Amino acid sequence: MSNAHDYDFTRIDGSRLALREFQGKAVLVVNTASECGFTPQYAGLQKLWEQYRDRGLVVLGVPSNDFGAQEPGDEAAIAHFCSERYAVDFPMTGKVQVIGGGAHPFYRWIAETLGEDAAPRWNFHKYLLGGDGELVAMWPSKVEPLSAEVTAAVEEALG
């Protein structure tokens, strides 16, 4: 596989989501969890999506229960939580593993391409993909979605 556009997820509603659908757009991929200290970042992700979606940014939430079992719900519970608590309307995938041998192929590609140190260390790890499907930046959980470094990278990726 050559870049992120070669990978597919399942949307939270069960339909197929091919990352190639986002060709030409910047995509911020974030592994999420509903019961984490970083969960309030959903608000910042939604605001970032609202601020930049018309310019070509896609925020993609990827629920995972890999860290501290902080995403125990099923897809319906996750979708309800995100919608009711944070008014999330950016795309979300179904729940997947993001680390280890059972990790979703997209996350295995990141670890294989950039090394294990590039794999998520906790919930709300962020990866920014360019319009060509290449990884252009990444940030650990503690970096807020609306931080200067994230918004500057998004601006640059959008041209």
CB 3 within 8 A of CB 29: no
Give the contacts of 86 (CB within 8 A, at least 6 positions apart).
Answer: 42, 43, 46
Q: Which residues are catalytic?
A: 36
Give the C-alpha distances (Å, rounded to integers) separating 126 from 74, 136, 144. Answer: 22, 11, 9
Q: Find residue 11's DSSP bridge partners.
A: 93
Please name the residue ranges forming H helices in the chain. Answer: 41-52, 75-86, 105-114, 148-158
CB 59 within 8 A of CB 91: yes
